[in-house]
Each structure stands twice: as C-alpha cells, then as structure tokens.
Structure 1
Amino acid sequence: MKYIQNNPKNSVEAMLQGYFFERKHLIDYDSKHKIIYRQKENQVALISGGGSGHEPAHFGYVGEGMLTASVNGDLFVPPSADAVLAAIKKTDAGKGVLLIVKNYASDIAVFSQAKKDAEQMGHIVEMIIVTDDHSIENDVSYKKRHRGVAGTILVHKILGAYAQQGMELTELTILGNNIIENLYTLGVALTPARLPGNQTPSYMLNDDEVYFGVGIHGEKGYRKEPYISSEQLAIELINKLRRLNNWAPHEKYALLVNGLGSTPLMEQYIFANDLRRLFNMEHLDIPFVKVGTHLTSYNMHGISLTLLKIVDQQWVEALQQPTDASHW
C-alpha cells in the first residue's frame, strides 16, 4: 500500500508543521512537545490529545469556543507527561485547566501524571475521562472497557462554548461528566487500518464482511457478518442503542456521524439519510446533526454513530455556537 509521506519517523512532525503553515494566523505550535495551542485567554483552558492517526482529532478542534490546546503523540501512541505538562503551563491563565482524556489506560496514565506534576507547581487541574464507546457486548465487564471515541468531539464543543462564556473549572468538570453519562457511540469497520511500516492489519476481515464494535486502535469488535447495505448497518446500530437507552418517543438526541478515515462523504451522507428515516420511525427528536470525518482510525474504511441525549436545551445551543476551530 502506498502512502503520501517521506520518512515515516518524521510524519507526525511534518503533519503538524503543515497544519501550522495553514493556521499560523490563529494558533501557535510548540514543535518540541508537539502542541497545537492558542495563547492564554481569561478562561479555563481545555486540553485534549492523544496519539496521532485520529486526525482531525484533536488539533483540528483547537480554536475559539473549543479546545485551548492539543498534545499530539506518535502514531497511536500517547504523548509524554512532560508534553502535557508543557501544554498546561502554556495555556493556564489562572482560571485552571480541564484535561479531556479518552478512556485508554496509557492515555489516562500520561495525563494523570501531568496533572499531578502541574498541581505540585501550583496549577489547578481537573480531568474528565470520555467513555462513549458502548460497542462491547459483555454485560458483566463492558463498563470497564468503555473506550473514548468520536463522542469526545461533542464534549470538546459543548465545554468549549461554556468555557468561553466564563464557566468556572468546577462547574465545567461537573458538566463534562454529565455529558459523558449521556453519550453513546457505536462503530463498524469495512476494512482495518493499515499503518505505514506495518503491513499486517490488526485483525482480519474478508472483502465481503463488516466488523461491528471495533476500536480506533484496531481493538476487536463484537461480531463479523456479511455486508448487505448501509441501511442494515444503521439498523444494527440503532437496535443496539435502543436497548442501551430504552428511549421514549420525542426524546431529544444530538447526532454525530463520523467517518473513520477512508469513508467518502457520499457514503457518510447515505448512512445519515438511513438514520434520518429510522429515527423518524422511532419518533425521536434530533435537533442537532453533524456529519463528517472527525475522529479517525488512520485509513480505516468505516463509520461510527454517536448519540448524545439532550438533558438540557442549552447543550444544543452550545453545539450550534460558532467556533473558528478548523475541522468542526
């Protein structure tokens, strides 16, 4: 498989330099620590990040009304605690810092260490862990395995809007955890990701198969079956979400349709249209819809569906609030 790159060892740095070249009028870049960030502002700083390979997450969401900084590791490898600490020091304007972390053990360890180190220096830091992936079928142990995936982007957007309005750190932390409790993502792959320098895929999938429940780092899903149509994918995911939510007619949900890396927009919108018809049949109110490639698994051909139960109408207003983040 061919890749548009030069030296694979320098791909992350080259990508971030290219992004900064495009956005230097709006952001700053710390090449030593691989941090995309905004200058300090009179608000709580919001920091996220993780391994690269999930673009445009997370640097594509650094902007006014969203993240203050993104800390970027190597391909599918989290950044160092020192890099996260550097981001905290660059962005803390005295209002405190909220770390938004996806639920992977290595990410949590890194961000937790940075939080501890920053607090010893006098910074006030809180951390929330996004656990929106509900694909795991084991009803006994699955809560321990909720991964953080595309729903993280909705957390960034809502908290970014509230932080811009002046909400304090403690309130933002409570709000973030409330959002996460009402956030559900399911994914399906048509092909595995194939990383440069590693031609062995993380799992095997026949040409005529799909794989439900895969993770964004190639973690195993819960079922393979022959591919039939976009509509059948949508039916499977909605049926599972219905069991999880036990929703009632006219409940409100925000919807995020996310391409996992190599999924054309045509396919994403076809899938969104299938969801539209199925949600109409469920008599659900969908006041906010976002379709696009937001948090990927490098070049995986696949799609994910995120639903956020709207328990406060102001969440919809926060999702609709303008931002200059490049990939919202």
Structure 2
Amino acid sequence: MVNTFGTLQFTTKICIANTGTVVGPVEKDSTFADSFDEVLSLEAEKDETNEQAHARMIESACHWAAKKGHTQVDKVDVLIGGDLINQLSPTNFAARSLAIPYLGVFSACASSMESVILGCLLLESGNARTVLAGASSHHQAVERQFRYPLEYGTQKPKTSQWTVTGAGFSLLEKDLKNTPVVTHATIGKVVDSQQTNPLHMGAAMASAARDTIERHLTNTNSKMADFDVIMTGDLGNIGISILKEMFQDENTGVILQDAGAQFYGNDKFFNAGGSGAGCSAVVFFGQIYDQLKKGSFKRVLLVATGALLSPLTFQQGETIPCIAHAIECRMEKRG
C-alpha cells in the first residue's frame, strides 16, 4: 500500500465481490429502484420499534451481499458498519444476530465509505480474506433523534432533505475475476465551513466534499474527465449546486453527480432530496456497482459526505464539522 497525504493506493487487488441493498417502502419509487435487492412493505413490522426494524434491515442487506457473493455471512471474517442512531445501536444489534467479528464506525453519512476503506486495509494487510462493509439509516428513527418525531407534523424548509430508509453493504474479497476493484481511497479531513443550520446539510458538507475530491485528483494525478462519474452522497440538490460552483471545471455538469439529489427524482415532497447513511450506500452498492459490473462505467469515484453534529452540539450553538471519505473503483477484466 502507498500512502500519499491521505490517499491510499492499494497494491493488492481488492474486489467488491457483490453487494446487498435493502430499502423501505417509500424508496420503491426512487430513481434507483431497479437496482435494489429488496423493498420492505413497512418501515417497521407489527410490535417492532423503528430501531429493531433498522437492525433487521442491516441483517438482510448483509445476507443479500453474502448470498450473491456465493458465501454465507457466518463465513465472513469481519463485519464493518455504521448508522446514525445513538451508539450505533441498530448496527450493534444486527452484529449481535450475525455473530461474526465486528467493527462499528461513525462518520455520519460518510460511514459507508469509511467502512469500505477499513475493510480494504484489512484485506491489504492479509489479516482478513472476506469483509462485509457498509452503512444504513432508517427514516423514522433518524427523524426522531435529530429533529422531531413524525407525529409532531412539523413543516420543513426547502433546504431540508429526507432521510432514506436503506441499508447497503458490500462483500470485499481479493483477486477475483471480472469484478470491480477498489484501487485507491482518500481519507477525509474534518472541514468546518461555519454552517449552523441542521436543516441545510448540503451547504455544510459541500466544502468537505470539495477538499476530498481535490486531494484525490491531485494525489492520483487525475482530472475529472478521467472518470465516468464522480458521485457524492448526499449533498442534495442545493449542496451539489454549491459544490459544482466551487469547481471551475467544464466537466462538472455531467461527471459530478449526487446520490441524494437524484434519489427521489424531481418530487418536491422531498425538498432538497435524499440523505442518511443509507442513501449513498444503496446507490453506490446498487446502481453504480451494477454499471461497473456491466462495463458501462470503467472508472468511478464514490464520495460519501457526513455532518458530524449531534442534537446536543446543535443546542450548544456549535457549528457543523463535516467529513467526506472516497474510494476509487475500476472495472478490470482479469484472466
């Protein structure tokens, strides 16, 4: 492995063997719906709490990834994952049921890519052969923790985003044929653009996304035009517009895209678009992965963004520090 100022170049062929994506009932109308493995009929089953439903969704996504990767969850060396709920309790409880070695991570909505980076490091070091890595979010649970219970019926501003109910996990292995390969990763830095509005996450996270993308391009001696897509997640409609304005590159209009901005199409009900740790996870491990497998994409940069606030820090008047972690994937056919 080569480390250049936070950008890692993996010398081992680390492959995304397969993925699993599970979403809630609202998400069946997503523009990415065709790439989801499972759509739940209810946010939570009878007698379940939202957090219990969240944990069950994580378990299901992991089983999908393992099954499609021709293995079983109990054969996987390590599970790495995170969510947005207090002390990662849904992921912790899912790990309890899955009963394999487990690392819980938190980078808010950037947790999916942090999980993959850590999984790649385990594989690169030779300390693991298979890793399940991903992240999740649950609309009803997250809204209750970070904003207001749904029963309050509070009105949200146009800058707000809708937390996606979804879990996306990848099965990472080494030296596979005809499989997307993680070639590089850029570890994010905490960037604070002095934003204070928790209902305007796109403006808060755009600077972190810019920092990570710029460092990745510089450290890999690349430019935007070298990629089929640079997909962020999840800045939303407003955040991605801010990010594009930050870059003076003629390719930003087509290559630079955002999972949250596209997740619910043009439906104004969702205001600025989708959000949540599960939003980018199900897009990256759903449609983007599928396009790599088909060969439609040859080289992509996946940049998950996270706002590192808590309900307490917001009440204390703190600004919103943010982070963005990125992985570069290529489709390499190997004999």
Relative contact order, higher structure (CA 8 A, sep 6+): 2
Question: Shorter-chain TM-score: which interval?
Answer: 0.3 to 0.5
Q: TM-score, normalised by structure 2?
A: 0.36
TM-score scaled by length of structure 1: 0.37
The higher radius of gyration belongs to 1
